[in-house]
Each structure stands twice: as C-alpha cells, then as structure tokens.
Amino acid sequence: MDYLHSVQNEVRVAQWLLDAQLPAARVIDDLEQPLVVSGHPVTFWHLIREGTRQPTYAELGRVLHDLHSLHLPDGLHLPAYSAFGRADLRIEKAVGIPDEDREFLRERAMELRDHLSLLQFDSPRGPVHGDAHLQNLMVDQDDQVILIDFENFSLDHPEWDLMVTATEYDSLRWQTSDQYASFSAAYGRDLRQWEGFPTLRAICEFKMTTWLMQNIAESRSVAAEYARRIASLRDDEATRCWSPG
C-alpha cells in the first residue's frame, strides 16, 4: 500500500495521455482503478501485441518531443523528478561490496547533490517520463510506437529525459553516431551542448552503478562489471568501458 499514490498517478497519467492522443499504454477504462487486493494496489491494462521490429532512437526522440510539448491537465499532480532515485538506500543495503566502495559512493552522492543544487536548467518544468530509454517504447502489430512504464512520471525539467540517451552515447558509446544524431535531430536538441550536461551525466553514471551494485551476487560477470564501473567512477577522466546490463 506504500505504492498506492504512485499507482493512482500511473492510472491518471495513462488516461491523460489517451486524451492527449499520445500513443501510450492504456488502462482498462471501464474499471475504476487501482483495485486493492489483499493489501496490494492492482491495475489492469490493454495488451500490446508487439510487431516484428524494435523502436528506433529517432522514434524515441520524437516521442519525447511530443510528450514535453504537452501541458498537464488540472487535477493531475505529479511529484518532482527524483534525481537519485533509490541510490541512497541501495548504498546502505548492498551486500558484498567493500567498505571503501560504500564510503566513496556516499561521498560521491553528496558531491553530486552539491553540483545539482547549483545547476541552472534551460527549460521550464513540464511532464517528464522519468525513465526515458529505448526499452520503454514498444512497436505494436500496426507499427505504432507506444510509450510504456509510467511509474516515474514527474513534473520537472525535460533535460532529465534526455540524460540517459545522451550519457549512453557520450560516455559509453552504446549507440552509433548515426543513432544518436537521429535521436537529437528528432527531439530538436543535443543535450551534450548544454553546460549542465556533465553534472547530469555524472548523476546518470552514478545511478547506473548503484543499480548494478545490488545485483553483484547474481554472477561473476555482474560482479566484474560493477568493479569496472566503480573503478572508473573514481576518475572522472577515465574511459567508461562498460557493458549494458
């Protein structure tokens, strides 16, 4: 039940996006939601039948451009974007990491918060997806690109939605130059040209590392990837030879 308010917002966001004609996951609209079943909020959604292809970075850029152009309706109250998410909790709860890693990550979090507090954003606040990456798009059997996953929807600066793809290209080269260029052209902005980008990139890398950190017991490969990431975080100029996952 701790998630009830968040789930209620997910339902409201889905209904608003339908009204705004932005292709997105749809709740079953003839059922008042969420239901509470055995102390848990439950929602019901229309099945998206996937087509034969994956979404492109240009499509991600267009979807984000369209989303950021919308205005929130009266009555839809969204929280500010949580820049650090559950990172602090993960640092304290992680099992199997060296004490020096934990202390470094605590200090890094404080440093990044200081940098963020001084940041001047270029864009006014508006609707933000909050977890904007290619895996949160689907292409259905009619070749329509559909936005999914509304749990992190926020009212904040749109730069947060450009942060992940820009970081994945700038730091990690997980996209080709053509793919990133198509994303930036479709959106109408390359976040890397903004003076505040290094701060957002550092926050993104920090969150990616702390997310992986909680899974190091899964396999040697995950533990090795975490070790690579934490080592490179200690040196801002180090090449990020990270693997997706």
Which residues have CB under 8 Å from 69's CB, separation 6+?
none
240 inside domain: no
Q: What is the mean pLDDT of residues 58-71?
A: 98
Q: In this predicted structure, what is the pLDDT of residue 193?
A: 97
126 inside domain: yes
241 inside domain: no
245 inside domain: no
Q: In this predicted structure, what is the pLDDT of residue 245?
A: 65
pLDDT digits (tens, 9 = 90+) for 18-53: 999 999 999 998 899 999 999 999 999 999 999 999
Mean predicted lDDT score pLDDT of the chain? 95
151 inside domain: yes
CATH label of the domain that carries residue 117: 3.90.1200.10
Show the domain range for 163: 4-233
- In our burial notation (b when 16+ CB lie closer than 10 A, e otherwise), range 212-241 reads bbbebeeeeebbebbebbbebbeeeeeebe
239 inside domain: no
22 inside domain: yes
Contact 75, 8 (CB under 8 A): no
State the total domains in the chain.
Answer: 1
**Structure confidence at residue 3 as a pLDDT band (50, 70, 90):** confident
pLDDT digits (tens, 9 = 90+) for 186-211: 999 999 999 999 999 999 999 999 99
243 inside domain: no
